[in-house]
Structure 1
């Protein structure tokens, strides 16, 4: 596979004996610089989600560094779920279409059984429209106040029970043509749709959690009364190089589900 991936020496990296030379002592370790070059290629779309990247030997020759340096860079990217190693096959760009990645950002689990038994959520799209971003939302998405955004409100129904009501904001410039029908009917995960249809891959997210009570509209959508406590989850999801691409505010019922996170 050919690509326009820059050579390590084109970016000021020197690799004699795999040590960084030159007069600038602030250089990061060489494998970190190679990691940065691979990230540049991922961001530029040189290798699409699900595609195999060149071998360690090919990348070592391209960047003029040792194979061990490339391996260390790839190890970090794999640990961050950006790349996926497959024994005997090679290294692939991770994708939300992979089942083990699909639920990476979903922390709400059923109290009985598991996600496989429960099956995928039914997505009821309440609205999908263009709007001018308010200052608070634009600040989180790092765009100017008043920027054109797409605002989606939807309800996720698990096993016939409305469980999550979500408000999602996306930059219109990156998701042109997004429609309620597309959000509702796409057969896979929403983040997989963003990858396939818009070339935007969410690679990490930050969340804030608190307990809240629903307003009347939210209570009606979730079929609960206004005194039912809910878990409020605000998530900012980022693509490569920490560019925020989605703000998601969800209210979760916790009478049949619980929020689960593994710390290590």
Structure 2
């Protein structure tokens, strides 16, 4: 039975750490399927919610990959590409260099609880809510990217802005802030029902998932962005 640790770590984090250790110790091998959610529930005497939260964290960290209809497998983290940028380039800038036109459609903006990674990077407490912006992005009027942006609560005034505009244009105009250095993480994801509908692709289609951790030009944390992109419509070049 999995019990709460002395430092009061949530059960789902304890379970995530156990699974992560089994992966690093090669007890769960790369490319192999891990026990099902039900099997993990029984083995550790925890709820389904606890198991799902643990698996979600490990998927976000690229330890696991969920294949719809097949199960959850150990990912090869060597397939994850990370880049450290001296100067951060936005998707809009990247598209402009190739002569493409980027436009945005706001889906939602709201305050959310946030996860541990977001609070750590944005330097907020677990009690604070962070701002979540969700947009559908178009390249030459064709939907190609579903985007989430997370900002610290000090940027709450951004809710009154026209979020169909480029993010950095808004941040510069409203808050006098420019992006500085950033880190990109690339991995493969598979389209779920919402993503397939919004991006006009078949469900389970392989997509490119890009996560950005971006600092401002004073080296302070600025935002986290996650993009799910149709690789048939947009390609990133990584300079070494």
Check whether TM > 0.5: yes
Which of the two has higher C-alpha Rg?
1
Query: How far is 1:253 from its partner?
Result: 0.5
- Structure 2 residues without counterparts, runs of 5 or longer: 1-85
Out of 153, 156, 160, the residue aligned to residue 176 of structure 1 is: 156
Query: How far is 1:227 from its partner?
Result: 2.3
Out of 158, 163, 167, the residue aligned to residue 144 of structure 2 is: 163
- Alignment length (residue pairs): 156
Instruction: Confirm whether residue 199 of structure 1 aligns to residue 180 of structure 2.
Output: no
Query: How far is 1:156 from its partner?
Result: 0.6
Out of 189, 204, 219, the residue aligned to residue 196 of structure 2 is: 219
Q: Within 5 Å, which residues of 2 pair with 1:31-110?
A: 104-106=89-91
**Counterpart of 1:258 in 2: which secondary structure?**
coil
Out of 119, 122, 132, the residue aligned to residue 103 of structure 2 is: 122
Instruction: Confirm whether residue 253 of structure 1 aligns to residue 230 of structure 2.
Output: yes
8 Å contact from structure 1 (residues 125, 154) kept in 2 = yes
In the alignment, the residues of structure 2 paired with residue 157 and residue 193 of structure 1 have an alpha-carbon distance, to the nearest angstrom, of: 18
Query: How far is 1:108 from its partner?
Result: 9.0
8 Å contact from structure 2 (residues 189, 208) kept in 1 = yes
TM-score, normalised with respect to structure 2: 0.58
Structure 2 CA distance for partners of 1:181 and 1:201, relative to 1, 3 Å? closer
Query: How far is 1:133 from its partner?
Result: 2.2
**Counterpart of 1:197 in 2: which secondary structure?**
helix
Structure 2 CA distance for partners of 1:194 and 1:108, relative to 1, 3 Å? closer
Query: How far is 1:229 from its partner?
Result: 0.6
**Counterpart of 1:182 in 2: which secondary structure?**
coil
Query: How far is 1:212 from its partner?
Result: 0.9
TM-score, normalised with respect to structure 1: 0.53
8 Å contact from structure 1 (residues 138, 145) kept in 2 = yes
- Structure 1 residues without counterparts, runs of 5 or longer: 1-79, 82-102
Per-residue CA distance 1:168-217 (angstroms, 9 max, x = gap): 100121x1321275111x3xx32122012112221111111101102211
Query: How far is 1:241 from its partner?
Result: 4.3
